[in-house]
Every structure is written in C-alpha cells, then in structure tokens.
C-alpha cells in the first residue's frame, strides 16, 4: 500500500516542520489504514495552514503523533487532534503547548478522558492575556498533576484556581504553579490537601497560596498515617475562620514534630475535640503539648485536657489561658499530674515484683473489679484458675513526688501478697502454734467428746469451732493482718517508712469508734492495732482503754517474726472468747478526751485478771439494745482475704490433678462430703450475713455441677465433656482418595497402637488477601526490624572457620605445624592442613503446625481488654501496638481473635526465616472425628516463599476440633523427607487436644494427651526436636504431662506471641 507523500504540502513551511512530518509519517504508515492516514495528515496540515504561526502547533502535533498513535485508539486520537484544532483557532501558542504535553498527559488518562481534559483547558481561556498564561500553565502542569490526581480532582482544583482567578489572575497562576510543585510530593495526602484548599478558597482565598507554601515542609513532621487527619483538622479550623491556617500548619506541625510519632494520634484526638468547642485555642493547645508531655503521660494529658475543656466551656478567656499554660490552675494541675503514679505504667513491674516475693503468678486488678468479680461469672473463672489477685488503685497522687506515690503502690502490693508469702492460706488445723499453747485440739473434741470441727478444709474446720462465724472470721482476718503488717516490716525494712505512711492514712480513714456498738468496737480495735506502729500511740476514747490493754496483750506475740498463721488461729480463739461475750450494744458517750494508753500499764499483768476486768468494764458501760453484729469496713490497702475460698480451691485443684494423674476420679463419697460440708458453710453464712465466701462457695459448687442439694439426695453427676462419644469402637479405615493418609493412634489403655485409625486429608489452604501480610509487616515494623537484626546475627555462626580441611582458603597454621612435626618425627603427616569458611552451613529444617480449632476463634479475653484500657504499656513499641489495636477496635468494632495473633506471628516468623534461609514448612490442622482430620498446607516445606503463601496465611481460620496426634505424625513425615542436620517441629496451640471420639469412656483428656505425647515421642525418635507453644493459661497442667522432658512453653499473654515466637525459635536453634 502506498500512502501519499504530501511532500508538496509541507514545502511552504520551515524545514523543521517537514522533518517532524516525515518522521511522524514513517511511524504512522505502519499503524494506520490508508483512510486513517489521510485523516491524520489532513488534520495536521490543515492546522499548519490556518494562520501565520499555527505551523508550530502543527509541528508539535506531528511530533507527538508517533507516541500517541501507539497508545490511543485512532478515534480518540482524532478527538485529541480536533480539540487541538479548536485551540489553534483561539491561540496557536496554547495549542502548541497542548500538543507538546500530549504524550505525557495522555499516558495518565483513560482514552475517553482526553477530550474532557482538553475542554478543561479550553475553558480557562477567555481571550485575555492572563487567561492565556493560565491556560498554558495548566497544560504544562497537567502531566505532573495527573500523576497524582484523577481527572475529576484536577477539574476540582482548576475550579478552585479559576475562582481565585476571578479575584486575582496573577494569584491564580501562582497558585497553579505551586500546586504543580507541591501536590505531587504529598503523595497519599494530596486529596486531604485539596480539600483543605477548597475550604480555604471558600473562606479566604488569600491563605491558599501560603498554605500550599508551607504544607510541604510541615507535613513530614507529622506521623505519616496522621497527616490526612492533621490537614482535616486545619480544614475544620479554616471553616471557623479564626485561625491563620498557614501559621497553624507551620507551628502545629512543628509542635507535633517535638512529640514521638506514636503519640500524634492521641494529641490529634484531643485537638479535634477542642476544635469542636473553640477553634482559636487549638493552636495554643498544640504549641503547649510538647512541654506538657515532658512532664506527664499521654493518659494524664487527657485529664489535663478535659480540665481545660471544662474551663473553656464556661469561660473562653480562661480556657485559652489554661491551654497556653498561663493560668495557675493549669500549672497546679500539671504539678499534681506529673507527680502522680499510674498503675498502668507500673503494672508489669508490680506483677514481677509480686512474682519475686511469692514465687507465684499474681494478677493485678483494680479494687472496683473485685466487686464485679465477686458477683459476676468472671469471678469464678478467675478464681478457678487459682490465680491470686492483688488490688491496686488506678492512680496514686497523694504525695508531691513520684517516689512516695510509687511506694504507696509497693506497700499495698507487698501487704496483699504477704498472705501468700507468709502462708496465711496454708493454715493447718493440726499444726501446733509456735507462740501460743494449743487450744484447738481440745476444742475440736467438744464437751461430749464428739468432733466439732468438720469441714472440707482445715480453715473450714477451724471456723466450725465458733458459733458466730462472721465474728470469728473478722477477728481472724484482723489479727492475721496484724501479724502480716509486723512481719512485712521486719522482712522488708526498705519500705518500713512508706508502710507507716500507708497505715497512718488508713487509720485516718477508719470510722468513728464512738459510734459503734461494743462488740464491733472491739473488732475495730483489733483492726486499728494493725494500723498503729506502736500500740501506746493508739488514741481511743477513754472507755476503750481497757480493751486496748487486754486485747493488745493477747495479740502482742503475733508481732514477732516467728509467729505463724496457727498462732493467729490461737489468738483468734482467745479473742473470740472475750469479744463474743460482750453484748453488741451501743456504748454511752463518756465525757473526756481521747487518750493514749499510759506506757507503764502495758504488759506484765495476769491475763485472766485483765480479761475479767475488761469484761466487767464493758458490761458495765452497756446501755441500749443489742444490735446485730456487722463487720467493720475493710481496710482498703489490705485487699481481699478469703482463706476459706483459697483452701477450698486448692483442695479442689488437688483432687483434680490427682484424678488426672491416676486416671481415677475423686470418689463419689469424697465429693459428697465436700458438698455437704460446703452447704453447712453456706447455711452458716446465711445465718449471719451472706458474706462473700458463702456466695463463692455456692458458685464453686455450681461450677462443678454440685449445686443446691442440701440433703444430698440428688444423684451425683460428674460433668463429662460433651464431646464424649460412646462409639469408640470401630474398625481401621481405608484410603479412598489421593492425598489421604492413614495414621495409627496410640491407645494408652491398651498400651498399643490402634492400626490405621485416623484418616488425614492434606489440602492446600485457600488463598486470601496478601494485604494481611503487608499490614502485619507494617504494624509491627519496629519489631520486624528488631527480629531481622537478631536473625542476621545468627547467620555468621554458619560462617564458622573450619579447620583441618583437605583444601581450602588458606593454610591452618596449627595443622601445618603439626604436619611439619610429623614429617620431622618420621610419621606420615596429615594432609588436612587448610581451613575453609562456610563449609558447615546452618542446616536447619523446621515445621510449624498451627492449631486451627474452633477455640482459636475466641476473642482475646474481652474482660482483659477492658482492664487493659488503662494499661498503656510504657515501652513505646508496645504502646504503638496497643494504640493501634485500640484504635482499630474503635473504628471497626472488631476484636482480635487468638488465630489472628497466631497468624501475625507466622508472618513475622516467615520473614525471619527467610532472613536466615532455614528450610521451613507451615501447616494448619483441624477436623472432626478420626476419619476427618484435615491438614492444611500453608507453605509446604519444599515450596518457596511466594505471594501465594502470603495469601494462604490470611486464609487460616478457626475450624473444628483438635486431634493433634495424626496431624503431628503427618507433619513429622514431611520433615522426614528433608535432608537436614537439625530438624525441629513446632506446635502452636491454644489448648489441650480434643476431638469427638478422641476418647475412652470418660477419660478423653488423658487419651488425647497420651496419643499426642506418643506422636511427639515418635518425632523425637526420628531425630526431630519437638517443641510445644501454647497460649492456654492452664497449659502447664497438660503440657507437663504431654511433653515431659521435651521443650514447651506457656505464654501467659497472647500478645507476647509475635515477639516471643521468633526469639524462641532463634534460641532453640542456636
């Protein structure tokens, strides 16, 4: 096909036009039909002929053609040409620019948008010189702007600029140039900035350019994810009109720049709240924040902010002075906040401190939670795990320095764990007291010689000695606390001073003893003994002096360090004998001041005479009616003390573990006895006041399925696991489809394998969204970097210098000398005289097996999450993570499940393993019944890491039950096929193995554990090191049985998993 040459038509024009045409023609002949070619050439040539300088525009048309003809469909191309023609008519210069930028701009547009874009430019030209300049600038800027904006956003921008142009054409041109320069550098925040601009143009167009001028400098100071919000805040302020936005951007961002990035979200939250009230103070607030945050925590910042808001609402002037830090109230508040100590910041320290003191895991909670727990179901959950709790206040701001405030926490914690440390709960009925003669044995027999002391535990038996249970318990508690207070001060002299402060404070808060009836007053006296450093310093009304003297004499031995809880019991017996005889009647107020006990009167007198005298004096002074006995209020710092519950729980636990160990349940008679006794206790408690222990015990019984049969007539039912299945007998299975595998299962009762018992199906995990991987990497960015560093340090060990090689990099001096010696001494030298690097590579293969049972769907302990709300971690990294999860919750109202954390951990681990290049596989398992064990391949051990693996990780989700045995066996078979010097098998689970029919008549737990254990032993016999990691708090129980001498770890805190897993792996394989 021949195309017309058009040589003649190009002749009138300068040679550069002709050459541009020729080049374009050569390119066009290849892609256009004859007809199209003609249309194309005509379009350009017609344009060239139109006016004097229009050939220049036409030249650009031809220059741009080769590129555009390739990218644009011809019809759209012609549309582009058509609009060029239109422009040429207006102004050849504009058209020239239009054509020149064509290839660049059209690349960022969809074909059908080209005309829109041209029209947008055309619309800017109104015939004036200024508009022509603007229009040219527009076309020039289009390429850059369209890289970041969509066409409609560009339209939006131009609309703004045009409206500025109505006021000032120069301003409009300047704004457009600036936009072109600034907007692309803002990346993802461009839209927010555009929106701010439109607000500004609406309110005060003069600020628009200033704003664009500073935004590029200002934004990088703000945490990346918060930049859009920062701009939105500026926009909001712009709407109010009382803030200069460029200044705000400049100074606000500078202030934020002084604060750690992870706090920005918090500060911006507060600033936004403030913007809703009074826009003018927002900048003041932001300016002040860096200084304020140097003194107080973010949490406290909120308090400070709230205070300011309150003032602001009443008095805008005062409010703005507050935020500028110019008001006395603001200064004073900062002072108070900055010396206060929040529990959240020291919780972890206190937890470890308590752990150190007691060797037990101690939970930390707020006093308010205690009330909630006693009533709600949560209580039993917590109580059933036997976890001791320490109750600490949310914040201590009593003193004007941090040390004293912190010491307060420490004293409270030390006292509360003293119950554990000095064995209040280990009371044994038959253990003799150290300091007192023992009355218990004879009391236990009673007058007629029949046993009076009965109860499920020793402490129950002890309280059974008394008619008035609540009174005895109050006396016991008060006296035991007295013992502990003294003991702690002896054992921990370092906190003695702080301790005295706490006690003095508690003493001040005691109710008036004058208003108490006599018996209660006596108990109150006992409580006060413990709060007073020296007995003689205790100030009481005159009529109680006798009481102080006598009761003080009885409890005095308990202040010695060798006093035991049995001594407390003996003292309780003696005190009870006195106090229970005192009628609980109001005591007439006597004239005269409160006084102290004269020193010389302390001690030395005969006890019996003293008791008699006390009784007489109290009986004498009685007046009025006998009132029911009510316990005096508890001393706050002393926390919860319920020895009966603790003993009962540990008793139940013992019987449980016994059952577990011997495979024999506690005998029915035993349980019934326990039940009957507990009911006694219940009734007793109800006779007095229904106290906490009473409620607890009922709940405990309920938990065991033992509730409410006072006569014990109902047949005793032990709650069996619902998965219990009678159809345990069955036949070996057969493989019917590919990718199915049969495994034996160990039956510990038979002490043999059940052949071909489980059918396992291997499946590829479905593919989810790879963004989960990216998001996780993002949100753990700091941790990822940390892990990477740690793992990179592992690698050089593989670069170990290997001596005694037959060939290598260099001579090994030692070997060479040895060889020389051999030669001289006439023996044959060893020829291995070289050393070489990197011969022994790290050669580790590992398989991770992920438990995908339904239980992993559980939200991570909701109650804990709320408790954590005030528990902001101190570590910035953790804080960030905490904040993110918290914010995520707020936005999406979603919660994290165990599996989510497991998945996140896998992501981090994959990343780490890729760093060191170990061979690894990741699998998940779940299933239902022995014929349906599903085994999911997330990353096969021989498979390379890829996008698909990332997507599969996302897909891991909770399914059914946990039959661990066959899954372990299959995972191990995967490892067997790999050549590696060291092989590991990692099991990550959230609880004990269980499945339908993973059982033998009611011993399901044991059966499953034994089978799992056997599978792990098999692994070890194959030279594979197994390791189990669980996030189940009760994991110690069965993991100990399951793993024995194999490695295992129980993570108390599931959130520790992402951090712990890589570290663990690194340590194990080191």
Partner 1 sequence: MAEQVTYRSYQAEEYVIREEPFYLPVGDEIELFEAAYAQKLPVLLKGPTGCGKTRFIEYMAYRLGRPMDKVQGHQGNGENTGGGIPLMTIACHEDLTASDLVGRYLLEGGETRWVDGPLARAVKAGAICYLDEIVEARKDTTVLIHPLTDHRRILPIEKRGEILEAHEGFMLVVSYNPGYQSALKDLKHSTRQRFVAMEFTHPPRELEERILEHESGVPGDMARALAKLGEKVRNLKDHGLQEGVSTRLLIYTGRLIAAGIAPRRACQVGVSWALTDDPQIQRSINEVIYSIFE
Positions in the binding site for partner 1 (CB under 8 A):
348-350, 352-353, 355-359, 410, 414, 491-496, 817-818, 820-822, 824-825, 827, 875, 982, 984, 1025, 1027, 1047, 1067-1070
Q: Closest separation between CB of residue 355 and partner 1, Å?
A: 5
Q: Closest separation between CB of residue 361 and partner 1, Å?
A: 8
- Cα separation, 814 vs 822, in Å, equals 12
Q: Closest separation between CB of residue 800 and partner 1, Å?
A: 9
- Cα separation, 885 vs 881, in Å, equals 6
Nearer to partner 1, 249 or 495 (CB): 495
Nearer to partner 1, 147 or 355 (CB): 355
- Cα separation, 251 vs 243, in Å, equals 12
User: Comparing C-alpha atoms, which of 443, 475, 426 is closest to residue 643?
Assistant: 426
Identify the DSSP state of 919. E
Nearer to partner 1, 276 or 1023 (CB): 1023
- Cα separation, 926 vs 1049, in Å, equals 21
Long-range contacts of 606-615 (CB under 8 A, 24+ apart): 607/553, 607/554, 610/549, 610/550, 610/553, 611/550, 611/578, 613/546, 613/550, 614/546, 614/547, 614/549, 614/550, 614/551, 614/578, 615/578, 615/581, 615/582
Nearer to partner 1, 417 or 907 (CB): 417
Count of alpha carbons within 13 Å of 311, Cβ hemisphere only? 21
Nearer to partner 1, 812 or 1004 (CB): 812
Nearer to partner 1, 747 or 1049 (CB): 1049
Q: Closest separation between CB of residue 352 and partner 1, Å?
A: 4
Tokens of 15: 């040679």
Q: For 241, phi and psi rounded to 5 degrees?
A: 80, 0
- Cα separation, 293 vs 334, in Å, equals 10
Q: Closest separation between CB of residue 406 and partner 1, Å?
A: 9
Dihedral over alpha carbons 359, 365, 366, 367 (to 10 degrees): -60
Q: Closest separation between CB of residue 833 and partner 1, Å?
A: 14
Q: Closest separation between CB of residue 818 and partner 1, Å?
A: 7
User: Comparing C-alpha atoms, which of 136, 156, 158, 144 is closest to residue 186?
Assistant: 144
- Cα separation, 755 vs 743, in Å, equals 7
Q: In b/e form, how buried is each residue of 735-748, taking b as 16+ CB within 10 angstroms?
A: eeeeebbbbbbbbb
Nearer to partner 1, 759 or 1051 (CB): 1051
Q: In the block, which residue shows the tokens 């009510």?
A: 630
**Angle (nearest 5°) at CA 891 between 886 and 897:** 55
Q: Closest separation between CB of residue 200 and partner 1, Å?
A: 47
Beta strands in 676-739 (DSSP E): none
Nearer to partner 1, 208 or 488 (CB): 488
Length of the chain: 1070
Nearer to partner 1, 549 or 983 (CB): 983
| DSSP-derived pairing of the beta strands 834-837 and 801-805 | antiparallel
Q: Closest separation between CB of residue 495 and partner 1, Å?
A: 5
- Cα separation, 474 vs 524, in Å, equals 10
The DSSP string of 266-323 is: HHHHHHHHHHHH-GGGHHHHHHHHHHHHHHS-HHHHHHHHHHHHHHHHH-HHHHHHHH
Q: Closest separation between CB of residue 641 and partner 1, Å?
A: 21
- Cα separation, 840 vs 833, in Å, equals 17
Tokens of 370: 């205690």
Q: Closest separation between CB of residue 842 and partner 1, Å?
A: 10
Nearer to partner 1, 302 or 361 (CB): 361
Q: Closest separation between CB of residue 919 and partner 1, Å?
A: 16
Nearer to partner 1, 294 or 1067 (CB): 1067
Q: Closest separation between CB of residue 977 and partner 1, Å?
A: 21
Q: Closest separation between CB of residue 492 and partner 1, Å?
A: 4
Nearer to partner 1, 680 or 1025 (CB): 1025
The DSSP string of 955-979 is: H----S-B-HHHHHHHHHHHHHTS-
Tokens of 297: 């925590």
Nearer to partner 1, 689 or 818 (CB): 818
Which residues are 586's β-sheet partners? 517
Nearer to partner 1, 356 or 891 (CB): 356
Q: Closest separation between CB of residue 491 and partner 1, Å?
A: 7
Q: Closest separation between CB of residue 285 and partner 1, Å?
A: 32
Name, in order, each residue with C-beta under 8 angstroms of 510's C-beta and a sequence gap of 6 or more.
524, 527, 528, 531, 632, 633
Based on C-alpha coordinates, what's the Rg of the chain? 41
Nearer to partner 1, 164 or 1042 (CB): 1042
Q: Closest separation between CB of residue 871 and partner 1, Å?
A: 14
Nearer to partner 1, 416 or 957 (CB): 416
User: Comparing C-alpha atoms, which of 692, 651, 609, 625 is closest to residue 455?
Assistant: 651
| DSSP-derived pairing of the beta strands 982-989 and 1024-1030 | parallel
921 C-beta neighbours (distance < 10 Å), count: 21
Nearer to partner 1, 808 or 927 (CB): 808
């Amino acid at each position: 096909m021949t195309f017309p040459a058009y040589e003649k038509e190009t002749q009138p024009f300068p040679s550069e036009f002709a050459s541009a045409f020729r080049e374009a023609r050569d390119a066009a002949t290849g892609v256009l039909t004859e007809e199209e070619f003609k249309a194309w050439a005509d379009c350009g040539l017609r344009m060239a002929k139109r006016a004097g300088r229009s050939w220049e525009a036409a030249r650009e048309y031809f220059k741009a053609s080769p590129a555009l003809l390739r990218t644009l469909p011809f019809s759209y191309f012609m549309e582009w040409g058509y609009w060029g023609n239109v422009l040429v008519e207006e102004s050849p210069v504009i058209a020239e620019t239009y054509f020149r930028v064509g290839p660049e701009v059209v690349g960022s547009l969809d074909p059908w948008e080209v005309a829109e874009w041209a029209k947008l430019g055309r619309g800017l030209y109104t015939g004036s010189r200024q508009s022509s300049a603007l229009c040219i600038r527009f076309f020039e800027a289009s390429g850059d702007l369209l890289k970041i904006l969509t066409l409609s956003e560009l339209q939006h921008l131009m609309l703004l600029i045009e409206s500025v142009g109505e006021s000032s054409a120069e301003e409009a041109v300047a704004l457009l140039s600036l936009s072109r320069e600034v907007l692309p550098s803002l990346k993802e925040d461009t839209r927010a900035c555009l929106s701010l601009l439109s607000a500004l143009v609406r309110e005060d167009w003069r600020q628009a350019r200033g704003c664009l001028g500073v935004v590029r400098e200002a934004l990088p100071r703000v945490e990346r994810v918060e930049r859009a919000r920062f701009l939105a805040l500026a926009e909001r302020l712009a709407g109010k009109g009382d803030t200069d936005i460029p200044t705000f951007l400049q100074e606000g961002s500078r202030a934020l720049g002084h604060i750690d990035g992870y706090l920005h979200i918090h500060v911006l939250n507060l600033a936004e709240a403030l913007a809703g009230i009074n826009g003018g103070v927002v900048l003041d607030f932001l300016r002040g924040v860096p200084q304020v945050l140097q003194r107080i925590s973010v949490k406290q910042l909120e308090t400070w902010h709230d205070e300011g808001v309150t003032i602001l609402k009443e008095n805008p002037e005062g409010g703005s002075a507050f935020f500028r830090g110019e008001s006395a109230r603001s200064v004073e508040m900062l002072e108070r906040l900055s010396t206060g100590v929040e529990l959240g910041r020291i919780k972890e320290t206190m937890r470890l401190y308590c752990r150190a003191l007691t060797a037990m895991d101690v939970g930390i909670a707020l006093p308010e939670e205690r009330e909630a727990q006693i009533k709600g179901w949560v209580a039993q959950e917590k109580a059933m795990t036997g976890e001791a709790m320490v109750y600490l206040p949310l914040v201590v701001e009593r003193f004007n320095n941090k040390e004293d405030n912190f010491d307060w926490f420490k004293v409270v914690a030390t006292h509360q764990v003293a119950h554990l440390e000095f064995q209040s709960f280990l009371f044994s009925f038959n253990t003799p007291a150290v300091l007192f003669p023992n009355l218990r044995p004879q009391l236990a027999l009673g007058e007629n010689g029949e046993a009076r002391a009965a109860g499920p535990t020793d402490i129950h038996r002890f309280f059974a000695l008394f008619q008035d249970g609540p009174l005895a318990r109050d006396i016991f508690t008060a006296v035991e606390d007295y013992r502990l207070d003294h003991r702690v001060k002896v054992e921990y002299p370092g906190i003695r001073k702080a301790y005295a402060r706490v006690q003095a404070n508690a003493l001040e808060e005691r109710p008036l003893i004058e208003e108490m009836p006599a018996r209660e007053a006596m108990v109150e006296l006992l409580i006060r003994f413990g709060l007073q450093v020296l007995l003689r310093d205790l100030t009481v009304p005159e009529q109680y002096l006798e009481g102080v003297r006598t009761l003080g004499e009885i409890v005095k031995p308990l202040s010695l360090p060798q006093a035991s809880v049995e001594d407390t019991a003996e003292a309780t017996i003696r005190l009870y004998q006195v106090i229970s005889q005192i009628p609980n009647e109001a005591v007439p107020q006597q004239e005269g001041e409160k006084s102290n006990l004269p020193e010389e009167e302390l001690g030395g007198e005969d006890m019996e005479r003293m008791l008699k005298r006390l009784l007489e004096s109290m009986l004498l002074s009685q007046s009025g009616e006998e009132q029911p006995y009510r316990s005096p209020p508890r001393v706050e710092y002393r926390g919860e003390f319920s020895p009966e519950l603790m003993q009962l729980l540990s008793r139940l636990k013992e019987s449980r573990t016994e059952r577990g160990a011997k495979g024999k349940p506690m005998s029915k008679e035993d349980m019934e006895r326990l039940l009957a006794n507990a009911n006694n206790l219940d009734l007793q408690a109800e006779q007095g006041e229904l106290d906490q222990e009473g409620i607890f015990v009922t709940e405990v019984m309920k938990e065991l399925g033992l509730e409410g049969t006072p006569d014990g007539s109902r047949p005793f039912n032990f709650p069996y696991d619902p998965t219990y299945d009678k159809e345990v007998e069955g036949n070996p299975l057969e493989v019917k489809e590919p990718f199915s595998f049969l495994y034996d299962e160990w039956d510990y009762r038979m002490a043999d394998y059940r052949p071909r018992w489980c059918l396992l199906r291997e499946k590829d995990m479905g593919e989810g969204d790879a963004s989960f991987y990216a998001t996780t990497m993002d949100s753990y960015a700091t941790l990822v970097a940390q892990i990477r560093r740690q793992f990179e340090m592992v690698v050089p060990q593989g670069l170990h210098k290997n001596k005694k090689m037959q060939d290598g990099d260099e001579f090994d001096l030692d070997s060479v000398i040895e060889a020389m010696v051999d030669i001289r001494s006439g023996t044959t030298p060893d020829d291995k005289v070289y050393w070489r690097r990197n011969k022994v590579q790290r050669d580790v293969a590992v398989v991770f097996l992920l438990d995908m049972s339904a239980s992993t769907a559980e939200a991570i302990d909701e109650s804990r999450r709320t408790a954590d709300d005030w528990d902001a971690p101190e570590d910035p990294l953790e804080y960030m993570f905490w904040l993110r999860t918290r914010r995520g919750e707020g936005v999406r109202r979603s919660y994290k499940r165990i599996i989510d954390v497991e998945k996140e951990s896998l992501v981090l681990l994959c990343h780490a393993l890729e760093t060191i290049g170990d061979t690894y596989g990741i699998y998940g398992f779940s299933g239902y019944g022995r014929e349906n064990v599903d085994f999911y391949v997330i990353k096969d051990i021989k498979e390379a890491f890829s996008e698909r693996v990332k997507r599969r990780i996302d897909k891991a989700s909770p399914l059914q039950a946990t039959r661990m045995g066959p899954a372990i066996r299959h995972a191990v078979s995967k490892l067997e096929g790999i050549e590696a010097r060291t092989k590991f098998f990692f099991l990550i689970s959230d609880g004990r193995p269980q499945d339908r029919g993973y059982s033998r008549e009611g011993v399901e737990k044991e059966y499953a554990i034994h089978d799992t254990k056997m599978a792990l032993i098999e692994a070890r016999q194959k030279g594979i090191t197994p390791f189990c990691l669980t996030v189940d708090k009760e994991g110690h129980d069965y993991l100990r049985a399951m793993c024995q001498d194999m490695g295992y770890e129980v993570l108390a805190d599931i959130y520790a998993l992402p951090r712990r897993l890589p570290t663990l792996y690194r340590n194990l394989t080191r």
